Amino acid sequence: MTARTGRPRTWRRLAGRAGLALAGFAVAGLAGCGSVGYLAQSVRGHFALLGEARPVAQWLDAADTPQALRERLALSQRIRDFAVSELKLPDNGSYRRYADLGRPAAVWNVVAAPELSLELKTWCFPVAGCVGYRGYFDQADAEAMAAQLRAEGYEVAVYGVPAYSTLGWFDDPLLNTFIHYPEGELARLIFHELAHQVAYAKGDTTFNESFATAVERLGVQRWLETQADAQAREEYARFEARRQQFRTLTLGYREQLQALYRSRLAPEAMRRRKAELMQRLRDEYETIKREQWGGFTGYDAWFERANNASLGVLAAYHDLVPAFERLFEAEGRDFARFYAAVGRLARLPQEERRQALLQQAAPARASASAAGR
């Protein structure tokens, strides 16, 4: 665990920061989850979180606010203003209040997958649709659910989530769980969570998370180019280089495992091959860490616990990002037009939505190809 106001481990930021709105949905009618206790902890935890938040202005005016926190809160408000003026994200009360929860995560998510599959177990809710995770405000509750799922034969991952979106139902606050992130990472998170208030497709996690990830990437690029100093840009470049290597490595092995699970190998042979691939994954990570990252340990916990569940959840955040980025280009790099196009897609049936996204993004791809000839 990280310190209460320290930086959470990098893999937790990657796996968990984006759009995990389960707790917010509870207050909008999560009775369909089939567990009164689960609903109760969601409602109780969410309103306790909101109750801790005070306006940023009050924190800035208070004499006992630590200087480091004062500076981060001021930075967060510049990022928040930029989100409205430059990225056309919602202008509301979200990220205008701050709360110190006294814990290292807003919620803990539980994801599960079968022994020989990357398909995540899903839970279905009235507002959110079907999602491949279940969130808890108490880590012990999350671990108890994980133990139950393991007993049922699932591979399970539990990870702390620094922020989640309530899709505009409530004004989401700044939290101690992420306020001390490096400048570029803080901007990414705020842009990502605000993007979930712009468009949401019920039950389509990959669409929703890929869209928000595209917005954060486009937004942070503009922020760093126009608002940040050289130190912040260099710091972000180091984080991003490692993040890209992490994605390349893990998604490459995810594809190999996916092919294995779809093969006709007997289960025992499949298990042996799976164990070989997982060991190779860890060995390659150790080589990269030693030879290219100077011993950086931020992803150690992820690789120590890597399994089908943790690999399965990665895809949701990246699979459609290139298509959304091409759609942004096709819409003239105009955020308002881009959001309108995404909103129209979100209202379509899921399969039709996927095909329409790829088709609408095609003109930008074709233009880029022609320009490169």
pLDDT in tens, 191-231: 999 999 999 998 898 899 999 999 999 999 999 999 999 99
Question: Could you tell me which residues come within 8 angstroms of residue 347 by beta carbon, excluding any fewer than 6 positions away?
Answer: 201
What percent of the chain is modeled with pLDDT above 70?
Answer: 87
Helix (H, G, I), strand (E, B) or coil at 31: helix
pLDDT the model gives residue 304: 97
Alpha helices in 86-204 (DSSP H): 139-151, 183-195
Neighbours of 346 (CB within 10 A): 18
Q: How far apart are the first and last CA of the chain?
A: 51
As a whole number, mean pLDDT of residues 334-339 equals 98
pLDDT the model gives residue 35: 62
pLDDT the model gives residue 15: 36
Q: What's the predicted TM-score (pTM) here?
A: 0.86
pLDDT the model gives residue 27: 40
pLDDT in tens, 74-100: 999 999 999 999 999 999 999 999 999
Mean of all residue pLDDT scores within the chain: 88
**Apex CA 318: angle with CA 120 and CA 257, to 5°?**
50
pLDDT in tens, 313-326: 987 778 899 999 99
pLDDT in tens, 260-315: 999 999 999 999 999 999 999 999 999 999 999 999 999 999 999 999 999 999 87
Q: For residues 31, 33, 36 and 41, what is the CA-based torsion angle, rounded to 10 degrees?
A: -100
Q: Which two tokens stand for residue 106?
A: 């807003």
Nearest to 131 by CA among 313, 345, 364: 313
CA dihedral over 244, 183, 227, 318, signed as positive or negative: positive
pLDDT the model gives residue 126: 67
pLDDT the model gives residue 14: 37
Q: Which two tokens stand for residue 328?
A: 């942004």
Domain residue limits, the chain: 10-233, 321-372
Neighbours of 227 (CB within 10 A): 15
Across the strands, what pairs with 111?
157
Among 42-46, 102-106, 154-158, 335-339, name the one with the lowest average pLDDT: 42-46
203, HSE (Cβ side, Cα atoms, 13 Å): 13
* Strand pairing class (97-99; 174-175): parallel
Across the strands, what pairs with 124?
130
